[in-house]
Structure 1
Amino acid sequence: MSNLTIQPFFWRPTNLFPEKRIVSKTYEGITSYTYGEFERRVRSLLGALNDQGLGPGDRIGTFGWNHHRHFETYFAAPLSGAQLHTINVMLGDDDVVHIVEDADDEILFVDPGEPFDRIERLWDDLPIEEVVVMADSVPDTGVDAITYDELIEETDPIVDAEFPDLEEEYSAGMCYTSGTTGRPKGVEYTQKMIYAHAMMVMSPAGLNIDETDVVMPVVPMFHVNSWEFPYAATMAGATQVYPGPSPDPADLLELIECEGVTMTAGVPTVWINLLEHVDEHGSDLSSLERIVVGGSAAPEGIMRRYEDEFDVTMEHAWGMTETMSIGSVSRPKSYMDDWDRSRKYEKRKKQGLLLPGLEMRVVDDDGDEVDWDGQSVGELWVRGPSVIEEYYNRPEANEEDFEGEWLKTGDIVCVDEDGYIEIVDRTNDVIKSGGEWISSIELENALMAHNDVVEAAVVGVPHERWQERPYACVVSADDSNPSEDELLAVLDDELDQPDWWFPDEIEKVESIPKTATGKFDKKALRDQIDVVLEDD
């Protein structure tokens, strides 16, 4: 048996930190139990999977949110030698059917409520014979289903001698990309990849997680292994808090206050909404030390408020499904300690330094590497032990997105003299106007520097003369209505760019469509804008 598998991740907390707690909000309420009890439940689930003949070569699908039962599948499935396939509950019906068929899942672990209702509605289109409902009861249904607790209570915990022998190259995890530019693509992770990436994330150069932390991953467990928190925090022996289905700001605040959460993570919208809730209802964030932000950049004003008012540091991270989520983290280097605050924020606003084990290139349209001067831009290529080298069942995408061991990320970046990555745009989102490119991300960040702007998204729209022009949509804070002149003025203040960079139109909207992972859904936004322009 190789040691570069998930098995040591299970052994360490259950033997060295058996008294540490796992707290979970579920549809039934809040559950709290220890790593020692977690061990027994995982061993029972592992025995149940073995009894059903599930092991190497099989895929076990999940369709649920962040809670302890889902967390237990993260270990039992790969410990059996099978592959855990987490399916995004926010995807459309067609994508769910496509993903389950494409992955050829053998069994589905499904949350009650809306996720189960979706599976029941799609049942005749799914190649699935059995569903395990991750709750203590099963709805009245024609679907062949059993409750999670029944499944594990009917099985004796498996003993060490019965553990399957695991190989490093066994497929252990599977996620699909968000599919904003076409059908979602399957991404497979081996035992060794999960081991390597969790160690990278746990390390001081990553997120620096240790056993004193109380970690609450808000990023969904159906999204890229919840940014590796379930594995990295477990290996560290940290207390873990899972906020349950579709947590709102009140849910998150209650868990932070009651459980003494020190570290949490999610997309910027979550933390903007939490701050608005705090402004209205008050809070106690005294335990919270760090918020890890990914998906898009957090506005600097939000970062400063958390730091000034609550002594909470927001840390930007970058990653992709193809890199097993987190691939870089941004915090100032030690020799920058004496820098003034504004200068440090220039670093903290970027996507930061690569995690140990990864390498990168920044390549221009001619295939040449660009200088690390903070100005020259190119596409980010990465490689390393947590980076895939091909998609599952997608040969055409493999030819386009890989160059040997290098993954072409599709992110347009510049890298400064200190090695800090800054995402300038996505290759699909960069706006080409009159032969020159305009960064939608720079425009968005500048618009969100306005105190009354909560969210901003910018896309390119067709233009008869200039090919494309930027079109901005902004969501204003409650009881505010900044004028277009005010917003153009903030762009002029924030950006050292010519006027032709600025949007021809800035539309006020109630909300901006988002992908299932909380990012701006620019494909959907373009469709909405096309309708508006056609009506005009």
Structure 2
Amino acid sequence: MAGQTLRPFLTRAATLYPDRAVVARTGDGIDRDTYAGYADRVRRLASALRAVGIDRGDRVATLCWNHDNHFTAYFAVPDLGAQLHTINPLLPADDVQRIVAEAGDRLLFVDPSLVDTLRDAYAPDAFASVERVVVVGADAPDLPLPTTTLTDFVADHGGDYDPPTLDGDDPAGLCYSSGTTGDPKGVAYTQRMLWSHTMAIMTPMGLDIADADVVMPVVPMFHINAWGLPYAATAAGAKQVYPGPSPDPADLVGLIEREGVTLTAGVPTVWLGVLEYLQDHDADLSTLSRIVVGGAAPPERLIRAFDDRGIEVVHGWGMTETAPVGAVSHLKPGLRDADYETQLAKRKKQGLILPGLEFEVVDDDGDTVPHDGEAMGELRVRGPWVAEGYVDGDDGAFDGSWLRTGDVVTVDPDGYVELVDRAADVIKSGGEWISSQAVENAIMSHEAVSEAAVVGVPHERWGERPVVYVVADADRDEDDLIAAAADRVRREFPDWWVPDQFRFVESVPKTATGKFAKTALRERRDEPLSGPVAADPPNDDA
């Protein structure tokens, strides 16, 4: 169906909400535009891209932060039936080289602050397909590729661009996974996939985005389309606010206050930083109604702290392969009158699979596990915005139309999915599973702990035992903190889930999208453990 494309979202916004604002923080201040002006910019950029030969199926890369010009590329590139390939600037140089070569990008947009990142990543063979670099700034620096500025690139192009006819199967986007458990893998999105995802997250069961909202994506635009917020906000006609390069908590709070932000989204560490800032600074966050959190489970203290301010923390789950939102934790009608602790227990979970998706949870034998909140298995999903393969042809994570997510989950009797662990991160001790993420969340509930990452270490008797890397306040006594953190784990889980060792570090290594890099931690682990554990695991025979 030709209508299932991104183009009508912008056409509608420019027609029905021409004066609704698009705001961006830049290095020089605040840029302001409207949907009418933005639509004109999209047409001019699309016309310029077509003039240099960009056509259906071509790939155009961006190495950019969250701002209005990046937003322009979000619609201009797919409007040609080309693929917008958003590159994560935090990836190692060799990863950037590999994905540019694999994608065959023909043109690359780069922010001035990321020019050195591009220089460091440049290799003639890897960038052989790149015909031109467009710098989103005032000057075109000296680069080993033909280079121009965005202003010069669009200078001779007006808004009278004649768009090509598109179909839902035409290309739209390309994103590489975060590489949490291996090399980043490329996922291609069609127009229909992003259209379907947009329609789903606009609904109340999704992220409930409407024209009255003011949406600020803090989640990077270089990763999974900023969780789809730029497309959904445009489809709704909502005001949009882009926080620009490297926003700190003061920047985010200031934008919320000045622009009246109602909905924002980002990983938990962002909002923990905001909470720390609010401890010492007065701020009016009265317009902010909800914060969408993903990428990691929100610590309970984060939810409680924002609840106290009248701001709802909405927990979501997704993957690069699901474009990305696949589940959101909203309270079902029967739970809306429940006591606060019962509601909190549900809200901490990854939530209810979105309408439009199918899911199942299977054990190692492929059998479906019961929805009892205890039985664990791998989550599998399929649907109109779920990928069915990777751009390199590797289909090892796919079983026909099913995506094998690699996430070990439980599903409770109410249907709420709870992520127990990544299949690669779950710890098997004495034949029983230990959820590294559950232990991490329990330890991070301590106010003195800012980060905690748990990995399994080989054990001569039990197979594996958990060890935790902790980032904590420098003035806290380590022995007292260990005792308190261990007690918090024991309150929720068996004694034998308590980590055998607490290793205090200045920071936990992270992937390019801010997740704990547990592969790096496993490389740092010491000799296998052989001593006693807090309490024997229940099965000594496995």
Could you say what the CA RMSD is over the residues aligned between the two structures, in angstroms? 1.5
Contact in 2 for aligned 1:46/1:158 (Cα 8 Å): no
CA distance in 1, matches of 2:153, 2:461: 64
Contact in 1 for aligned 2:94/2:121 (Cα 8 Å): no
* 2:486 match: 488
* 1:104 match: 104
* 3-state secondary structure, aligned to 1:366: coil
CA distance in 2, matches of 1:47, 1:515: 36
* 3-state secondary structure, aligned to 1:105: coil
* 2:537 match: none
CA distance in 1, matches of 2:474, 2:33: 40
* 3-state secondary structure, aligned to 1:222: coil
* 3-state secondary structure, aligned to 2:49: helix
Match of 1:130 among 109, 132, 152: 132
* 2:520 match: 524
C-alpha distance 158-346 of structure 1, shift in aligned 2 (>3 A): same
* 2:212 match: 212
Alignment-mate amino acid for residue 172 of structure 2: A
Alignment-mate amino acid for residue 493 of structure 2: D
Please list the CA deviations of residues 466-505 of structure 1 after superposition, one character each: whole Å capped at 9, or x if unmatched. Answer: 2211001122246434432222112112x131x2221100
Which structure 1 residue ranges, 5 or more long, are not aligned? none
1:136: how far off? 2.5
1:267: how far off? 0.4
CA distance in 2, matches of 1:184, 1:322: 12
CA distance in 2, matches of 1:354, 1:328: 4
* 1:83 match: 83
1:141: how far off? 4.2
* 2:371 match: 372
CA distance in 1, matches of 2:475, 2:118: 41
Contact in 2 for aligned 1:470/1:503 (Cα 8 Å): yes
Moved more, 145-154 or 413-422: 145-154
Contact in 1 for aligned 2:427/2:465 (Cα 8 Å): yes
* 1:356 match: 355
CA distance in 2, matches of 1:165, 1:512: 48
Mapping of residues 461-472 of structure 1, within 5 Å:
461-472=457-468
* 1:257 match: 257
C-alpha distance 42-376 of structure 1, shift in aligned 2 (>3 A): same
Please list the CA deviations of residues 116-162 of structure 1 after superposition, one character each: whole Å capped at 9, or x if unmatched. Answer: 11212333332222101112222344542111122222212234xx1
CA distance in 2, matches of 1:483, 1:348: 27
Query: Following TM superposition, where does structure 1 have runs of at least 4 consecutive aligned residues deviating by more than 6 angstroms?
Result: none
* 2:278 match: 278
CA distance in 1, matches of 2:117, 2:333: 50
* 1:299 match: 299
Contact in 1 for aligned 2:458/2:528 (Cα 8 Å): no
**Is structure 2 residue 155 aligned with structure 1 residue 153?**
yes
Contact in 2 for aligned 1:57/1:82 (Cα 8 Å): yes
Contact in 2 for aligned 1:123/1:143 (Cα 8 Å): no
Contact in 1 for aligned 2:459/2:528 (Cα 8 Å): no
CA distance in 2, matches of 1:142, 1:192: 37
**Is structure 2 residue 335 aligned with structure 1 residue 336?**
yes
* 3-state secondary structure, aligned to 2:331: coil
Contact in 1 for aligned 2:97/2:123 (Cα 8 Å): no
* 3-state secondary structure, aligned to 1:413: strand
* 1:322 match: 321
C-alpha distance 464-293 of structure 1, shift in aligned 2 (>3 A): same
Alignment-mate amino acid for residue 135 of structure 1: G
Contact in 2 for aligned 1:317/1:330 (Cα 8 Å): yes
- Counting aligned pairs with the same residue, the percent is 52
* 3-state secondary structure, aligned to 1:519: coil
Alignment-mate amino acid for residue 145 of structure 1: T
CA distance in 2, matches of 1:489, 1:139: 56
* 2:456 match: 460
Residue-pair matches, total = 524
Alignment-mate amino acid for residue 466 of structure 2: P
CA distance in 1, matches of 2:86, 2:110: 10
Contact in 2 for aligned 1:120/1:143 (Cα 8 Å): no
TM-score w.r.t. the length of structure 1 is 0.95
CA distance in 2, matches of 1:242, 1:531: 47
1:513: how far off? 1.4
C-alpha distance 63-532 of structure 1, shift in aligned 2 (>3 A): farther
Mapping of residues 418-497 of structure 1, within 5 Å:
418-477=414-473, 479-481=475-477, 482-493=480-491, 495-497=492-494
Mapping of residues 155-234 of structure 1, within 5 Å:
155-159=157-161, 162-234=162-234
1:196: how far off? 0.4
1:280: how far off? 2.1
CA distance in 2, matches of 1:227, 1:490: 33
Alignment-mate amino acid for residue 61 of structure 1: A
1:366: how far off? 0.8
* 2:50 match: 50
1:378: how far off? 0.4
Contact in 1 for aligned 2:44/2:159 (Cα 8 Å): yes
**Is structure 2 residue 406 aligned with structure 1 residue 407?**
no
